[in-house]
Amino acid sequence: MKPSPGFTGATLDRADALRANDAALAAAKADPRARLLVLSGLEPLPGADGRLAWKPLAGADPASDLLLLGLDDGVPCFAELKYAEADTVNRSMAVMQVLARLPAEDAALYGGARSVIDWHYRHLFCARCGAGTALFRAGWGRKCAQCNSEHFPRVDPVVIMLAEFEGRVLLGRQPMFPPRFFSALAGFVEPGESIEEAVRRELFEEAGVRAGEVRYVVSQPWPFPSSLMIGCVAEVDGDALTLDATELQDAMWVDRAEVEAALGAHADARFVPPPPVALAHTLLRAWLGR
């Protein structure tokens, strides 16, 4: 079975060719069918049908900049950038409860939109010279009015991995996790590293295990604020652990039966697993299915 990672499966055409075409973009904005994603701050406000809600683009606040999300069956779809909210907008993870009820394709569309909107809110100034920047490329970049530097939305690659040893995999918990919750270890890919090198470094830093073969499994975006989660399984040469106490409160090796019980939410499961929207969940399912 194909894995179905969280925040994937958006059906919108991103319409890259429109972004730098001023005439086509103006026509898209003037299209009477054009619509605007309904948000409260950075959060979706689903309609009565449980889907993302939209309103006519004509209802946009004239003070807002517009981000072109793409075309839905030819209909131009936008989101508003309300800069006045940039510093005060709610970034709490409570939004996950709303997202869990959205269809996968809506959660995926929302995730991409949220990442770009929040990138604007945190990048109103030029990192190169400090002057103010203005939106360009239909919201897929900002340009400095003073030094002309162009800035583009960030995507931060993160490796998330299961160390594997003799039929068991390694899970860990951070101090802030809910009780009994364990997940895969993870960390940002740094400049100068391949995916495989980042996996080996993180496993050694956080748990003291040495990885050999690293196998890529699956990926997904994570819009808090804008990560690309890259899921791997890494064979390690032993199960002795040396935990980095600043990163991990605890870690443990789990076998197939324990992972099955946790994913099946059995009452006597050894741990609470990550939810389906998290790549660690998909990674555990893929490991069981192999």
CB-wise, 44 or 111, nearer to a copy of itself? 111
The nearer residue to a copy of itself, 237 or 255, going by C-beta atoms, is 237
Q: How far is the CB of 35 from a copy of itself (least distance, A)?
A: 18
Q: CA 201, CA 211: separation in Å to the nearest integer?
A: 9
Single out the residue of 33, 154, 180, 256 in contact with a copy of itself (rule: CB under 8 A).
154
Q: How far is the CB of 115 from a copy of itself (least distance, A)?
A: 4
Q: How far is the CB of 209 from a copy of itself (least distance, A)?
A: 16
183 binds a copy of itself (CB under 8 A): no
Task: Report in angstroms the alpha-carbon separations of 170 from 3, 51, 144, 229.
Answer: 20, 37, 46, 18
Residue closer to a copy of itself by CB (options 221, 273) is 221
Give the helix ranges, DSSP H, for 102-194: 104-121
b or e along 156-165 (b: 16 or more beta carbons within 10 Å of the residue's beta carbon)?
eebbbbbbbb
Measured distance CA(83)–CA(43) in Å, rounded = 15
Closest CA relative to residue 141, chosen from 101, 81, 200: 81
134 binds a copy of itself (CB under 8 A): no
Shortest approach of a copy of itself to residue 269 CB, angstroms?
28
Q: Does 157 bind a copy of itself (CB under 8 A)?
A: yes
Enter the DSSP assignment of 124: -
Does 244 participate in binding a copy of itself (rule CB under 8 A)?
Answer: yes
Contact by Cβ (8 Å): 175, 215 = no
Q: Which is nearer to a copy of itself, 117 or 171 (CB)?
A: 117
Q: Which phi and psi angles does 224 have, rounded to 5°?
A: -125, 75
- Point out which residues bind a copy of itself (CB under 8 A): 5, 7-8, 10, 14, 16-17, 108-109, 111-113, 115-116, 119, 122-132, 140, 149, 151-157, 188-197, 201, 205, 216, 218-221, 223, 226, 228, 230, 244
